[in-house]
Amino acid sequence: MAHLRSRRRLGLAVPLALSLTASLGFLPAAASAAPLAEAPVQATDATSLAYVVNTWPDHRTIESVKKAITAAGGTVVTSYDKIGVIVVHSANPDFAKTMRTVRGVQSAGATRTAPLTAAGSTDEGPAQLLTKQQATKAAKASGAAADSEPLEADQWDLRAIGADKAAKINPGSEKVTVAVIDTGVDDTHPDLAPNFSAAQSANCVGGVPDTSEGAWRPYTAEDYHGTHVAGEIAAARNGIGVAGVAPGVKVAGIKVSDPKNGLFYPENVVCAFVFAADHGVEITNNSYYVDPWLYNCMDDPDQKAIVDAVNRAQLYAQKKGTLHLASAGNSNHDMDADAIVDESSPDDSTPVNRTIDPHKCFDVPTQLPGVVTVSATGVKNDKSYYSSYGYGVVDVAAPGGDRKFQIPTDTPSKNGRILSTMPNGEYGWLQGTSMASPHAAGVAALLKSRYPKATPAALQALLKAQADNPGCPESYDQDGDGAQDAVCEGGKRFNGFYGYGVVDALDAVD
């Protein structure tokens, strides 16, 4: 299995078959940013690294920089000329240092710390997988209401935000598409096929979009993260399995996970944002952080170049009308603290402990300007034990599940995680801010359906306005050991746990 890192540290891991009763930078003018190259150049030297070189986005500068790239021992993989981002492979260990001295280059750096052939990562807590037979048996035993989906009795998350009631008023418009930037989406799943948009889907691994038939699908059934996320957003109400928050909107898949190690490298994500923008996607869901750094520090030239490249791409998409939502993280970090200890970076080689300033080191893309940051809640509407948080960082909250401290008592499975679609027609439970972000994306899609002319900024304002804020809890000692597990700053209107509040699908349509 390719170990997954989409907020997979935020809620993803090895499938386990169980029964139901047993889971900032420069913005050029808006224009087409289609890459020039038709296919990524494959490195043959085992010492090669991938780089991003960020320049002024004018033709003369870009052509001059490309010549300098060649002279420095680099090979251009693709060039997003309108945002001034060039993806390069090079075996020259001084390549980035050399390029930073070139006129017109604003930043340049490696997008990984291990050669292109390397693999390795980590993941967190087991997913619980339902086979088709188990799902069928569970559906028959659930006694589902006539107007609900067979497995909906276990979808406490829909009821928590009024999505079940919202679907009866407005399930969302087929003119709105949410692109899942992730490990791929299995569009053959019967709950996803009715709402899938192949024309807005691609495989962006390597930095160049591949739109051939099925390129957007997961590599294997174990790369299930993106399919689960897609179901949370837009699983159809078709009487088969589960329902999504916005069962009437379209969902697309843009695959960005590396086939060797499951990591989400910067050039893949740059490609995904630009592709989504150029193909009319209204909303993107980003349940991951850009590898190999959990936090990218602006005083490191390589990490600064990563922030610059991804930020240019996501701002480009915003300019073209695309709203981005992203998961806050599963480390229970206070992202407004004076310091955070990052023990997981870089995740493509040997991690080292480092203490970072979260005001100068950024979780990408969730901390980029204009991106909606989503924290996770459980069935009791409390912040999930793993969810990162932070005053002024979190924008809204949404159900992400909590298998430890927030267990439902009124569902057939008594499972505190989120039930959704899995590859090959299956279903399964996961938890994480990976699951929270798509719930918020689904509500944003309902709002976009209701207000089709809303800009990304206006849509974000609407999303915050309809949220319901429980306020900071008097105590957040979930394990009962007498110590606070996290400290919530702020008040009833806005705070570090929930931002402006927990999203509300019913308010979004009514």
CA 312 to each of CA 86, 205, 209, 262, 370: distance values in angstroms, whole numbers, following the listed order: 12, 18, 17, 24, 12
φ/ψ of residue 32, rounded to 5: -65, 130
In angstroms and rounded to an integer, the radius of gyration of the C-alpha atoms of the chain is 21
CA distance 98 to 22: 57
- Evaluate whether residue 82 is within a structural domain: no
The total domain count for the chain is 1
- Evaluate whether residue 132 is within a structural domain: yes
Q: Where are the alpha helices (DSSP H) in 25-86?
A: 59-71
- Evaluate whether residue 137 is within a structural domain: yes
Interstrand relation of 127-130 and 74-80 (parallel, antiparallel or unpaired): unpaired
3-state secondary structure 329-363: CCCCCECCCCCEEECCCCCCCCCCCEEECCCCEEC
Q: Give the bridge partners for 177, in sequence order.
A: 250
CATH code assigned at 153: 3.40.50.200
Q: Where are the alpha helices (DSSP H) in 373-452?
A: 433-450
Q: What is the pLDDT of residue 15?
A: 30
Angle at 415 between CA 332 and CA 398, to 5 degrees: 45
pLDDT per residue over 298-329, tens digit each?
999 999 999 999 999 999 999 999 999 999 99
- Evaluate whether residue 53 is within a structural domain: no
For residue 165, pLDDT over 50 is answered with yes
Instruction: Give mean pLDDT, residues 167-183.
Output: 98
CA distance 126 to 321: 37
CA distance 420 to 409: 19
Report percent pLDDT > 70 for the chain: 85
- Evaluate whether residue 381 is within a structural domain: yes
Size of the chain in residues: 510
Residues 49/90, Cβ–Cβ less than 8 Å: yes
- 10 Å Cβ neighbour count for 456? 22
Residue ranges making up the domain that contains 467: 15-24+123-472+486-509
Instruction: Give mean pLDDT, residues 66-90.
Output: 98
CA distance 436 to 12: 13
- 10 Å Cβ neighbour count for 239? 12
Per-residue confidence at 115, pLDDT binned at 50, 70, 90? confident
Residues 327/281, Cβ–Cβ less than 8 Å: no
CA distance 200 to 252: 6
Q: Give the bridge partners for 235, in sequence order.
A: none
For residue 148, pLDDT over 90 is answered with no
Interstrand relation of 426-430 and 127-130 (parallel, antiparallel or unpaired): antiparallel
Instruction: Give mean pLDDT, residues 258-268.
Output: 96
Write down the mean pLDDT value for the chain: 89
CA of residue 480 relative to chain centroid, distance: 32
Q: What is the pLDDT of residue 446?
A: 98
For residue 117, pLDDT over 50 is answered with yes
C-alpha neighbours within 13 Å on the C-beta side of residue 66: 18
116-127: burial string, b at 16+ Cβ within 10 Å, e else: bebeebebbbbb
For residue 429, pLDDT over 70 is answered with yes
Q: Give the bridge partners for 4, in sequence order.
A: none
Q: What is the pLDDT of residue 131?
A: 60
For residue 72, pLDDT over 60 is answered with yes
Instruction: Give mean pLDDT, residues 161-177.
Output: 98
Q: Which of 254, 162, 263, 146 is nearest to 202 (CA)?
A: 254
pLDDT per residue over 465-474, tens digit each?
999 999 999 9
pLDDT per residue over 353-394, tens digit each?
999 999 999 999 999 999 999 999 999 999 999 999 999 999
- Of the chain, the end-to-end C-alpha distance in Å amounts to 44
Per-residue confidence at 130, pLDDT binned at 50, 70, 90? low
DSSP 2-13: PPP-SS-TTT--
For residue 37, pLDDT over 50 is answered with no
Report percent pLDDT > 90 for the chain: 84
- Evaluate whether residue 155 is within a structural domain: yes
- Evaluate whether residue 81 is within a structural domain: no
Per-residue confidence at 139, pLDDT binned at 50, 70, 90? low
Q: What is the pLDDT of residue 26?
A: 32
Q: What is the pLDDT of residue 229?
A: 98
- Reduce the DSSP state of residue 161 to 3 states and report it: coil
pLDDT per residue over 213-238, tens digit each?
999 999 999 999 999 999 999 999 99
* Structure tokens given for 55: 């320049």
CA distance 262 to 1: 9
131 against 150, higher pLDDT? 150
CA distance 88 to 382: 45
Per-residue confidence at 147, pLDDT binned at 50, 70, 90? confident
**What is the signed CA dihedral for 297, 298, 302, 306, rounded to 10 degrees?**
90
Instruction: Give mean pLDDT, residues 16-42.
Output: 31
Per-residue confidence at 146, pLDDT binned at 50, 70, 90? low
φ/ψ of residue 310, rounded to 5: -65, -40
Residues 256/204, Cβ–Cβ less than 8 Å: yes
Taking the alpha carbons of 39, 45, 46, 52 in that order, is the dihedral positive or negative? negative
- Evaluate whether residue 80 is within a structural domain: no
Interstrand relation of 15-17 and 49-55 (parallel, antiparallel or unpaired): unpaired
